[in-house]
Amino acid sequence: MVDTGQMKNDPFETVEPIGKRVLIRKDEDKKQTKGGIQLPDNIEIPTITGRIVSVSAEVEMSSEFPLGQYDKVLFNPKGAIPVDFEGDNRLFVVEVENVVAVFRK
């Protein structure tokens, strides 16, 4: 669950994904490649990275999905549902099928 207490006028206080879904805070968009090439603002990247903020009870109890809170993941944003709690709109509800990789140390 995510506490969204920063917006006082919003009647919702938490976001909890349901079903086989996770809530992801998308990383900042990269404006430059590692080699120093500046990317245009309107470039569409097919997969993006972020951190899992919350997992549904179904995902949490299943050994089929090796996902947990704070995991850094690579996900396909095509089916991601934006959550409009923040001005910069970086929260997304994502089906676990659209999480394509987990970064591990």
pTM score: 0.73
Q: What six digits make up the tokens of 20?
A: 């086989």
Q: What is the CATH architecture of 15-28+46-105? A: Roll (2.30)
Where are the chain's structural domains?
Answer: 15-28+46-105
What pLDDT does 79 receive? 85
Structure tokens at 13: 């206080």
Residue with tokens 């396909």, as numbered in its chain: 76
* Host H or E run for residue 9: none
Per residue in 48-89, pLDDT (tens digit) is: 899 999 999 999 999 999 999 999 999 998 889 988 765 666
The SS3 call for residue 79 is: helix
CB-based contacts of 14, cutoff 8 Å, min separation 6: 1, 2, 3, 4
